[in-house]
Amino acid sequence: MEQIETRPVQQADRDAVRRVAAAAFGDEGPVIAELIDLLHATGRVEHELVAEPGGAVVGHVLLSRGWVDAPERLAPVLVLGPLSVDPTAQRAGVGSALVHAALAQAQAAGEAAVFLEGDPGYYGRLGFEPAGEAGFERPSTRIPEPAFQVVTLAAFEPWMSGRLVYCDAFWELDCVGLRGEHLADVEAALGIGSPTDG
């Protein structure tokens, strides 16, 4: 497989990034594109990359600022997402290349950890592990436990355990976890049941 080059996003890429996000997320595409814009507007973007094999942008990943609410103090961390790959370029290693490049940037920047919500089968192959088993708490119970994942980096210290806190943009656009039938479908696919409320 040919090497997929990634590079930092430039201002000229904005329209292409929105197009890729809209295509990758289907009905949710407009909200994801709005999330990217809001993360920029609120200054929460820490790292952002595109992949452009053949000269056209077909993939995009964003790392935004988050925190772990540890007993000692807030610990700054990163949240990976959204990760978007144009449907015409999926299953060709674009997403993997973007995730590996994003993790390398986070490591080089001295970040402690990178969190995400996503398919544990896919992201587990890229170095992520269940965050709950590593001592972290989900920011919402609407994130299925297996989908809440983390990579801890060289700067991570044992005191940095607690609940992950997303920045406001994710909450403002209701982009944390899943709701309703979508949540039930994902939990069924992961082999877990919804918690019952008393």
Residue 172 lies in a domain: yes
Contact between 42 and 167 (Cβ < 8 Å): yes
Residue 35 lies in a domain: yes
- CATH number, residue 10: 3.40.630.30
Q: Are strands 148-152 and 129-130 parallel, antiparallel or unpaired?
A: antiparallel
DSSP lists the bridge partners of residue 165 as 67
Domain count, the chain: 1
Q: Is the peptide bond between 120 and the residue preceding it cis, with omega within 30 degrees of 0? A: no
CA–CA distance, 136 with 125 (Å, rounded to integer): 20
Residue 110 lies in a domain: yes
User: What is the pTM assigned to this prediction?
Assistant: 0.89
Residue 198 lies in a domain: no
Residue 147 lies in a domain: yes
Residue 49 lies in a domain: yes
Residue 196 lies in a domain: no
pLDDT tens digits, 63-92: 999 999 999 999 999 999 999 999 988 888
Residue 196: the pLDDT is 44
Residue 105 lies in a domain: yes
Domain that holds residue 118: 6-190
pLDDT tens digits, 136-178: 999 998 898 999 999 999 999 999 999 999 999 999 999 998 7
Contact between 169 and 38 (Cβ < 8 Å): yes
Across the range 117-146, mean pLDDT stands at: 93
